[in-house]
């Protein structure tokens, strides 16, 4: 496919790139693109090849994220970044992250074909967004902005072997610069960060929205490993009053927090709570042994930093109470905090104006608009949605870069091989970015 | 050591046998004697060697349990069996099971040395008592008595590879006879079944009893694997009302049952409840994924069959309620039931009389007796204790054989390498059996 074909058939180009990367990173029913590992490297290499075929210039920054620009774009003044991530969770889906990079490539090529001068837009394929590999998310964007905590470099790989710093070094990252917190990109150079991503929840499918503008991104507080240490014993021979059952202690903790969560939602707070991992110790598993230790992860997310911190403090209080009543002990690994982020109101408005201009392609008209859709446009209404999941856009937003996201409708959630995005919905999202960028780039070529 | 040495120094003989078997079945800090596997075979072979050195005759029954008798004992009339088991849990302790067999050997040799005719006593080293290997306990005694359920032969080894039936066949067991439920021992031949065992709980250490008479053995109801099936999802993107979190469902189940348990103890019932194994699925472990499935074991034990069954039914009711409220599904593997057993009052009394006759060796005198010690003897008082753990004695008792057990004080519980029995306490137990058998054997040789 030549550069000229892009404008003619962006759908075919998108399908081709997505299929190529899927094929080369397949793992069972899904794809595996390990952060700073083989699958991510493969994905970046394939993206580079496609970008070059499209006539784009590729460069890697010192955190080994991949940048794409037009050859004629040698500007030193600020530009808009359209980005997303190239990695995936183990046996995850193909669209999570990758779709946003492909969208950026299509937008850039589409603008070039339609407008006279090189638009102030560059595409960024980030590494290391998924926390599944090292228990830490947004490693690529944080490194780029000099905001990855130095101690994160010591985080162990999920296999228990090797650290994040070691994996980064193998990929060619300037680990010492990352450790020193040196910004590898001048944020003053970035006019805005835009990201297209599949929705990872079920809301847009339920409501029939092909695309939506993200208003904010939930932050999270996490412990990857909380240990509850009790005392093992024979399940028949130790009476209740002499037991220190670590599992029943954890069950009580989770039940209490679950009930608090229910109440706080009733009080109107934004909050989700998850223990994705919870297990008695496999090496001493036996039906007839009182669990002496349980390990679990803990995560709370909210759009409101205070809600998140207070719920976390409540969890620690409950642990202390259970320690006293049950004779167990809770031990916590490092507390990892990702701040919530607000998307830029100006860019949300530009996306809505673009939707109105693009018309019915967004799939919703004013007649069907809900009370929360406040856009005062005469064409299609772009609905608003908060993001429950975290995204690199939150890192840019919290570094002071005006940021915006478009969610694309997607079946079956994400982080699993069954995610299902319609390419038509994806193209609606691409068109929204192109439309929104109209405001800040040169006028169309004379026809 | 010759046969004549036994009477002279039973302590040295016991220490020697125990040390030999420990050395040959060592596994890290503990011992591993797999049911119908290598460690159990090794233990039986060593016991056979020692028995022969002591002048005993060894024979295997069709379930490949090891029997020891005096050469002159060719009786066809009933005899007393002193037995226990030769297997252990993975990396367990050396005394759990083995001590009871060695006790039998010492009693048999001791009686032979002191009394004229061959006493009506035989020693039985049973296989397969531990449920850790196939999720089923008392396999050796149940097979011997024609009471092993045929479907148990299909139970999988804990590794997932191979079945109980296959392992039995490799040991030379007549698997077809076991499958047919054929009794391989005529229980009418068995006057009584006696078993010495370390206590597996902390009560005797706390109360300072070197030995105690067991009054009854708790039964149990078990599921080795209960599956709670919910729906996986992104931990940030799925709101509470759309979640089917399998872990929070299990936490609620365990917390509810824990509270019921507390209340039932207050109401005076005998009950313990344990989930020794509980885990989200390792293959899909991630901090940011709502658990789609949790697997756990469930066990309830009681000395009262009705309490046990009703508590189990309550658990099933709670599962049904949680299924409705949380949109999850519980699936249960085979329900395994071991009936509670009552020890024979006549034999408990004989043990108490022996304690009184043996005097201070039991370590407790009438002056210190608790209200529950009802023995009307003038010497030492043998305290009574229920057994929370199961034992082969329960299988014999439930088959109609008058059965009795002596518990020996033991530190740090059992099923772990740290069990700690004092050999003096063990010899108190051996003396109790010798004393109790006085009633039914020929009078002492003239000195």
For A306-317, the pLDDT digits (tens) are: 999 999 999 999
Query: Over the stretch B299-349, which tens digit does the pLDDT of each residue have?
Result: 999 999 999 999 999 999 999 999 999 999 999 999 999 889 999 999 999
| Chain B CA closest to residue A89 | B286
- pLDDT at residue A364, as a whole number: 46
What was the pLDDT predicted at B206? 87
Specify the pLDDT at position A262: 97
What pLDDT does residue B278 have? 98
* Lookup result for tokens 């102030």: A120
Q: Are residues A180 and A314 in the same domain?
A: no
Q: Please write down the HEC assignment for all residues of chain A.
A: CCHHHHHHCHHHHHHHHHHHHHHHHEECCEECCCCCCHHHHHHHHHHHHHHHHCCCEEEECCCCCEEEECCCCCCCCCEEEEEEECCCCCCECCCCCHHHHHHHHHHHHHHHHHECCCCCEEEEEECCCCCCCCCCCCHHHHHHCCCCCHHHHHCECCCCCCEHHHHHHHHCCCHHHHHCCCCCCCHHHEEEEEEEEECCCCHHHHHCCCEEEEEEECEEEEEEEEEEECECEECCCCCHHHCECHHHHHHHHHHHHHHHHHHHHHCCCCCEEECCCEEECHHHCCCCEECCEEEEEEEEEECCHHHHHHHHHHHHHHHHHHHHHHCCEEEECCCEEECCEECCHHHHHHHHHHHHHHHHHHCCEHHHCCCCCCCCCCCECCEEEEECCCCHHHHHHHCCCCEEEEEECCECCCCCCCCECCHHHHHHHHHHHHHHHHHHCCCECCC
User: Are the C-beta atoms of A363 and A210 separated by less than 8 Å?
Assistant: yes
Of B240, B258, B294, the CB nearest to A272: B240
How many domains is chain B built from?
A: 2
For residues B30 and B120, state if they share a domain: yes
Q: Shortest CB distance from A234 goes to which of B247, B287, B389?
A: B389
Q: What is the pLDDT of residue B6?
A: 55
Contact check, Cβ <8 Å, B285/A276: yes
Q: Give the pLDDT band of residue A206 (cuts 50, 70, 90).
A: confident
Residue of A nearest to B416 (CA): A233
Asked whether residue B257 falls in the same domain as residue B124, the answer is no
Length of chain A: 447
List chain A residues with CB under 8 Å of B391.
none
- pLDDT of B413: 83
pLDDT in tens, A240-295: 988 999 999 999 999 999 999 999 999 999 999 999 999 999 877 788 889 999 99
* Run of H or E residues at B27: strand B26-27
Cα angle value A39/A41/A42 (rounded, 5°): 65
Mean pLDDT of A137-158: 96
B216 vs B362, higher pLDDT: B216
B445 lies in some domain: no
Q: Does B375 score more than 70 pLDDT?
A: no
Q: How far apart are CA A279 and CA B55, in angstroms?
A: 51
Say if B102 falls within a structural domain.
yes
> Is residue B317 situated within a structural domain?
yes
The yes-or-no verdict on residue A372 having pLDDT over 50 is no
Domain that holds residue B305: 220-338
Q: Are residues B29 and B100 in the same domain?
A: yes
Q: Tell me: pLDDT of A38 over 70.
A: yes
For residue A388, the chain B residues in CB contact (below 8 A) are 234, 236-239
Q: Which value does ipTM take for this structure? A: 0.76
A247: chain B residues, CB-CB within 8 Å: 254, 275, 278
Residue B72, min C-alpha distance to chain A (Å): 40
Contact A276 B291 (CB under 8 A): yes
**Cα–Cα dist B35/A253, whole Å:** 37
Give the CATH number for residue B95.
Answer: 3.40.630.10
Cα angle, residue B46 at apex, residues B45 and B48 outer, rounded to 5°: 65
Residue-wise pLDDT for A148-201, tens only, equals 999 999 999 999 999 999 999 999 999 999 999 999 999 999 999 999 999 998
Task: Give, in degrees to the nearest 5, the angle at Cα B42 between B410 and B108.
Answer: 60
What is the rounded CA–CA span in Å between residue B232 and residue B292?
Answer: 4
The three-class DSSP label of residue B301 is: strand
Q: Model confidence at B443, in pLDDT bands (50, 70, 90)? A: low
**Distances in whole angstroms, Cα of residue A164 to Cα of each of A156, A209, B371:** 6, 38, 65
C-alpha–C-alpha distance, residues A276 and B285, integer Å: 7
Average pLDDT over residues A430-443: 85
- Percentage above 90 pLDDT, chain A: 77
CB pair distance less than 8 Å for B287 and A248: no
Q: Please tell me whether residues A163 and A311 are part of one structural domain.
A: no
Select the more confidently predicted residue: A364 or B414. Answer: B414
| Co-location of B231 and B188 in the same domain | no
pLDDT digits (tens, 9 = 90+) for B252-275: 999 999 999 999 999 999 999 999
Domain end: B301, B320, B338, which one? B338
Asked if the structure places residue B212 within a domain, the reply is: yes
pLDDT > 70 fraction of chain B, expressed in percent and rounded: 93
Mapped onto helix, strand or coil, the DSSP state of residue B252 is: helix
DSSP structure class, residue B371: T
Mean pLDDT rounded to a whole number for chain B: 91
Which H or E run contains B226? Answer: strand B219-229
Across B410-432, average pLDDT: 92
* B413 closest CB neighbour out of A234, A248, A416: A234
The SS3 call for residue B33 is coil
Q: What is the pLDDT of residue B366?
A: 40
- Whether residues A315 and A370 fall in one domain: no
For A220, residues 6+ apart whose C-beta sits below 8 A from its C-beta are A299, A300, A301, A308, A336, A337, A338, A390, B236
Q: Which of A278, A305, A338 is where one domain is finished?
A: A338
> Does residue A190 lie in a domain region?
yes
3-class SS of residue B215: strand
CB B138 within 8 A of CB B155: no
- Look up residue B304 and give its DSSP letter: S
Count of CB contacts below 8 A, A vs B?
213
Name the least confident of B134-148, B166-180, B237-251, B358-372. Answer: B358-372
Residues of chain A neighbouring B289 (CB-CB closer than 8 A): 274, 276, 415
Q: Which residue has the tokens 């596997």?
A: B37
Q: For the ranges A350-364, B187-201, B430-444, which has the lowest average pLDDT?
A: A350-364
Would you say how long chain B is, in residues? 447
Nearest CB to B288: which of A239, A294, A299? A299
pLDDT digits (tens, 9 = 90+) for B31-58: 999 999 999 999 999 999 999 999 999 9
**Does residue B372 register a pLDDT over 60?**
no
Residue A98, C-beta contacts closer than 8 angstroms, at least 6 positions apart: A18, A21, A43, A84, A86, A88
Same domain, B47 and B184: yes
Does residue A300 form part of some domain?
A: yes
Same domain membership, residue B228 and residue B177: no
Calculate the average pLDDT of chain A: 91
* Residue A384 CA: distances (Å) to CA of A397, A406, B403: 18, 9, 75
Tell me: do A304 and A347 sit in the same domain.
no
pLDDT at site B370: 39
The CATH number of the domain holding residue A233 is 3.30.70.360
Give A332-344 pLDDT, tens digit per residue.
999 999 889 999 9
The answer to whether the CB of A289 falls within 8 A of the CB of B415 is yes
Q: Residue B323 is encoded by which pair of tokens?
A: 């299924």
> A82-96, A355-369, B46-60, B144-158 — which is least confidently predicted?
A355-369
Q: Are residues A268 and A371 in the same domain?
A: no
**Pick from A149, A121, A125, A122: which is nearest to A137 by CA?**
A149
Domain boundary at A307, A338, A369, which?
Answer: A338
> By percentage, how much of chain B surpasses pLDDT 90?
77
Six-digit token string for A56: 């784009």
- What is the average per-residue pLDDT within A135-142? 95
pLDDT attached to residue A234: 87
DSSP, res B380: B
Instruction: For A58-105, write each residue's pLDDT tens digit.
Output: 999 999 999 999 999 999 899 999 999 999 999 999 999 999 999 999
Same-domain check for residues A230 and A360? no
State how far the Cα of B437 lies from the Cα of B361, in Å rounded to an integer. 17
């Amino acid at each position: 496919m030549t550069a000229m074909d892009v404008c003619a058939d962006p759908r075919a180009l998108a399908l081709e790139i997505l299929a190529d990367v899927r094929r080369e990173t397949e793992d069972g029913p899904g794809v595996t693109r390990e952060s700073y590992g083989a699958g991510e490297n493969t994905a970046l290499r394939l993206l580079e090849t496609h970008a070059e075929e499209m006539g784009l210039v590729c460069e890697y920054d010192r955190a080994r994220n991949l940048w794409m620009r037009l050859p004629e774009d040698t500007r030193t003044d600020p530009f808009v970044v359209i980005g997303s991530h190239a990695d995936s969770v183990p046996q995850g889906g193909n669209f999570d992250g990758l779709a946003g990079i492909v969208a950026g490539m299509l937008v850039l090529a589409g603008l070039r074909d339609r407008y006279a001068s090189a638009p102030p837009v560059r595409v960024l394929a980030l590494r290391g967004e998924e926390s599944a590999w090292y228990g830490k998310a947004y490693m690529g964007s944080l490194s780029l902005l000099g905001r990855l905590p130095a101690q994160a470099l010591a985080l162990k790989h999920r296999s228990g072997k090797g650290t994040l710093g070691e994996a980064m070094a193998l990929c060619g990252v300037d680990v010492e610069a990352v450790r020193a917190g040196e910004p590898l990109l001048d944020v003053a150079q970035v006019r805005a960060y835009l990201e297209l991503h599949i929705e990872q929840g079920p809301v847009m499918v339920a409501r029939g929205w092909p695309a939506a503008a993200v208003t904010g991104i939930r932050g999270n507080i996490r412990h990857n490993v909380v240990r509850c240490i009790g005392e093992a014993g024979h399940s028949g021979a130790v009476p209740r009053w002499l037991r220190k059952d670590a599992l029943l202690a954890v069950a009580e903790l989770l039940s209490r927090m679950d009930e608090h969560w229910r109440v706080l939602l009733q009080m109107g707070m934004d909050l989700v709570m998850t223990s994705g991992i919870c297990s008695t110790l496999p090496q001493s598993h036996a039906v007839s042994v009182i669990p002496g230790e349980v390990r679990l992860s803990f995560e709370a997310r909210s759009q409101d930093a205070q809600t998140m911190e207070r719920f976390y403090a409540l969890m620690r209080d409950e642990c202390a109470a259970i320690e006293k009543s049950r004779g167990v002990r809770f031990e916590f690994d490092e507390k990892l905090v990702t701040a919530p982020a607000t998307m830029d109101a100006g860019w949300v408005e530009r996306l809505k104006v673009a939707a109105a201009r693009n018309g019915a392609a967004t799939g919703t008209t004013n007649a069907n608009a809900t009370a929360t859709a406040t856009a005062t446009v005469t064409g299609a209404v772009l609905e608003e949605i908060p993001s429950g999941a975290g995204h690199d856009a939150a890192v840019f937003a919290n570094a002071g870069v005006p940021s915006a996201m478009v969610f694309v409708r997607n079946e079956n959630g994400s982080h699993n091989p069954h995610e299902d995005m319609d390419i038509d919905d994806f193209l609606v999202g691409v068109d929204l970015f192109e439309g929104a960028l109209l405001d800040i780039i040169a006028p169309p070529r004379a026809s």
